[in-house]
Chain A
Amino acid sequence: MRQRTLKTVLLLMCAASAAGQTARAADLEVRATVDRNVVGLNEQFTLSVEFSGSGASSIEKADLPQMNAFAAFLGSSTSQAISFVNGRISSNKTIAYAFQATAVGSFKIAPVKVVYEGKTYQTQPIDIEIRQSAPSPPTGRFALRQQGEDIDQASLQENLFLRAVPSKTRVYPNEPVMLSYKLYTRVALGNVRFVTVPATTGFWAEELQMKETPSSIEVVNGREYQVYTIRKLGLFPVQPGPKIIDPLVLSGDVRVRRRARDSFDNFFDDPFFAPTRTVSIRSEPVRIEVLPLPSAGKPDGFSGAVGQFRLTGTVDKKQIRTNEAVTFKLTLEGEGNIRTLPEPTTSFSSDFENYPPKHNEQIDLQGSTVRGKRVYEYVLVPRVAGRQVIKPVSFSFFDPQAGQYRTLQTGEFAIDVAKGNDAVAFVPSGFSKEEVRLIGQDIRYIKTQPPDFRRIGQGLHNSPGFWLLLVAPLVALAGAVIQRRHRDRLRGDYAYARLRRANRAARKRLAAARAVMSVDREKEFFAEVSKALIGFLGDKLNIAEAGMISDEVQSTLRSRGVAPEVIDEYFGCLQVCDLKRFSPAGATAEEMRAFLEKTESAMSKLNRSL
């Protein structure tokens, strides 16, 4: 039964993990699109890579194919939308890459690749066609009609010219430059068309929309001209260095013959009827010097924004419960390159679960400059009850008018977070496998069997049984020692004690002999050696030294299995001693030393055989 349950559990686990795998795989979807498939040369187009699925928010960048052959990269922007459905996060992220078309022809944008959790996702290839003449602004729009003097070829240059007027020629990267193309004319001009629209390489360009071509009167060199602003661009330099924008070329029809000015002829004073000539009108190239941003006073958080900005922050709720979402909205508005504005650096307390912000932008291209606003929305989910604070967010930019860096800051927001209903219902990200296993489980039920209660702080060290077990053997040990002593004394086993100290005593006596080892004290020396030999034998055999009879001792030794040559050597030494002690013949120091060594060897041999 138990086995079966186990098997079922294993099967279920396998199935669950397989399901998890497929769910994982379907978690990311990647799509690539271009905003238009037919682009004019030098025009901008946008390649958008769209990610959807729960994995989308973690994607930071995509691997773009090589597009150098036909397009120059201008910049990118990211937008994101996040939705919560039943505690699950699903998100949609789009990275838009802006390009400028640089070559004419039909091209294929190879698949965009994204690596997510070790898997590579690919999009479909996209066809793009780049044409020489762009589907440019309709020519009819600039069909200017005016009362002017009809003119001959020679004076055409003076009466009709095109000027490219930049608002500034020395700028910082990302500082807006307004480039206006103004058509100065003193002649009747019609059917104006763009022939060559120059590339704005090295700039992020925004074309300002004009509802109608503004016209005014200007006096140049004492002559009055009708002036039309035919095109206006907001340019944002990307990199420092000198930049040149090539001439813009227009063509237009000019009336060349002078007419009589009377009321009747006025009827025919119309381009439709007038004999005209097509002329080409060309502006001068524009030179713009892009200066590097000053390094002095650059704030830490600066990441390239240049212009004039305002920063405001708001929260939608001040009182919420845990695991509910509050939206923190940051609005950056002003004048500058809104589309490429870096995100202000935010640092939310770890008590908030936070997600990459959703942002959108509004750009006003109607006025005389590029202005707009960019709104970031941060979804914050407090995990902990209490008073939570959203710290001030700061944003740094360079103010080109003042020539210095400025840092903006929002206020601080305090949010009162009440405890939500369910502490574990919302599952934040960042759990380990082990923790995931526990998610959704309820705690195990209480233990119902009354346990064996024990005294608080009670351990082995204060249980008497333990101490009894420790001490009892020690008592037994002491008892054993006493018992052994008692028994030894009863037995009167003095011999045992003597045997144990025989070696030590012999060593002591030989040392004494060595101390008197000199020619003038030879008698004393041999007496000491003799004492050592007799004493050692007496200790070993437990015989009184006084009662030691040579023959008797020898037979005892033999009976205890000592080899005869050992006995002979030992007693030989003893005899030498006796001889030397009582004979007048002297011994040299060397003889004495040799004898001492011989004695020691005899002793150790006997010791070993006993």
Chain B
Amino acid sequence: MRMDVMRITLLTLSFMTALLAGPADALFVDGNRLYQAGQYQAALEKYSEILKLGRESTALYFNMGNCYYKLQDVGRAILFYERALRLSPGDDDVQTNLGIAQLATPDKIERQPDFILARFVQAYCHLLPKRIQVGLALGLYLALMAGVILWILTRGRLIGTWAGRASVALAVLLLLAGASLAGREFEQSNRREAVILATKVEVMSSPGAQAVEVFSLHAGAKVALDRSSGDWVEIILPDRKSGWVKREVLEAI
């Protein structure tokens, strides 16, 4: 019975998606044709219209990144490759092109090693691909619920005793799987990152143009966002350097 409900829901969802994706597909194909012809600016316009429809995909962001790269806008190319990676972290094409685009950026920032416990937690949270993590947690949850229901219904009999024990074991596993998934979700929701788009940015020690210049960054540098104050946002580099820049020089991933 439950399986049927699931199947129906999934079918409905995919049908709705297909219905809405019609114009998006056409725009995508148009964009690809323009890219092929070397009209990168026109291709970008087509791709952007898909975004305006409220649709996104790894391939769309990847192609837009390629357009910007060809137009020699390394900052935006990196921004869109990063967006594509947000959707599919393991995509080989995206990783390769991002690496090539990063070659053209002048900033070489060394990543500072993290605290060992944080590294351990991070490794644990990323042990499995997210898709499998979600599937595992969901499966364990369903199995646990089945166990508990069985235990309630057969309590006082031998089978009930075993159902109870199995439920406890499942609960422990679910806790472990759930913690890793939760850790990953937390990290992703807390990871507010941006890419510098302005050609050159002076990073200041505090908000306001009269502050002291701490260092400078160039288009394509990926930074983490922290506090904000008026027009100014605080950025943190992978090597832990931080400073303030105007909000208009960067765009969040």
Q: How far is it, in angstroms, between the C-alpha of A451 and the C-alpha of B200 when the chains are bound?
A: 35
Interface flags for A446-482 (1: CB within 8 Å of B; 0: not) read 1111111111100010011110111011101100110
Residues of B within 8 A of A480 (CB): 148-149, 152-153
State whether the Cβ of A158 lies closer than 8 Å to any Cβ in chain B.
Answer: no
State whether the Cβ of B161 lies closer than 8 Å to any Cβ in chain A.
Answer: no
B57 near A454 with CB under 8 A, answer yes
Residues of B within 8 A of A348 (CB): none
Residues of A within 8 A of B153 (CB): 480, 483-484
Residues of B within 8 A of A431 (CB): 103
State whether the Cβ of A64 lies closer than 8 Å to any Cβ in chain B.
Answer: no
State whether the Cβ of A434 lies closer than 8 Å to any Cβ in chain B.
Answer: yes
- Taking each of B29, B32, B134, which has the highest tally of chain A beta carbons within 10 Å of its own beta carbon? B32
B149 near A444 with CB under 8 A, answer no
A384 near B218 with CB under 8 A, answer yes
Residues of B within 8 A of A460 (CB): 134
Interface residue SS majority, chain A? loop
Residues of B within 8 A of A430 (CB): 108
A443 near B50 with CB under 8 A, answer no
State whether the Cβ of A496 lies closer than 8 Å to any Cβ in chain B.
Answer: yes
Residues of A within 8 A of B17 (CB): 452-454
Q: How far is it, in angstroms, between the C-alpha of A460 and the C-alpha of B189 when the chains are bound?
A: 14
Interface size on A, residues (CB 8 A): 50
State whether the Cβ of B252 lies closer than 8 Å to any Cβ in chain A.
Answer: no
One of A419, A448, A449, A456 near B72 (C-beta < 8 A): A419
Which B1-60 residues have a C-beta within 8 angstroms of A? 2, 5-6, 9-10, 13, 17, 20-21, 24-25, 28-29, 32, 35, 50-51, 54-60
Interface size on B, residues (CB 8 A): 58
A443 near B106 with CB under 8 A, answer no
Interface flags for B179-216 (1: CB within 8 Å of A; 0: not) read 00000000000000000000110000000000000001
Distance from B36 Cβ to chain A, minimum over Cβ atoms (Å): 8
**Which residues in B have some Cβ–Cβ distance to A below 8 Å?**
2, 5-6, 9-10, 13, 17, 20-21, 24-25, 28-29, 32, 35, 50-51, 54-60, 62-63, 66, 69-70, 72, 74, 93, 96-97, 99-104, 106, 108, 134, 138, 141-142, 145-146, 148-149, 152-153, 155-156, 199-200, 216, 218
B103 near A468 with CB under 8 A, answer no
B155 near A434 with CB under 8 A, answer no
B152 near A484 with CB under 8 A, answer yes
**Closest residue on chain A to residue B56 by CB atoms:** A456
Distance from A7 Cβ to chain B, minimum over Cβ atoms (Å): 21
One of B6, B146, B152 near A468 (C-beta < 8 A): B6
Q: How far is it, in angstroms, between the C-alpha of A438 and the C-alpha of B99 when the chains are bound?
A: 7
B21 near A453 with CB under 8 A, answer yes
A456 near B152 with CB under 8 A, answer no
Q: A350-B216, A438-B99, A476-B149 are in contact. List 10 more A-B contacts (CB 8 A).
A: A424-B103, A430-B108, A446-B62, A450-B28, A451-B58, A453-B17, A453-B24, A453-B55, A454-B56, A472-B5
Q: How far is it, in angstroms, between the C-alpha of A382 and the C-alpha of B141 when the chains are bound?
A: 59
State whether the Cβ of A439 lies closer than 8 Å to any Cβ in chain B.
Answer: yes
One of B60, B97, B148 near A453 (C-beta < 8 A): B60
State whether the Cβ of A383 lies closer than 8 Å to any Cβ in chain B.
Answer: yes
State whether the Cβ of A351 lies closer than 8 Å to any Cβ in chain B.
Answer: yes
B103 near A438 with CB under 8 A, answer yes
Distance from B124 Cβ to chain A, minimum over Cβ atoms (Å): 20
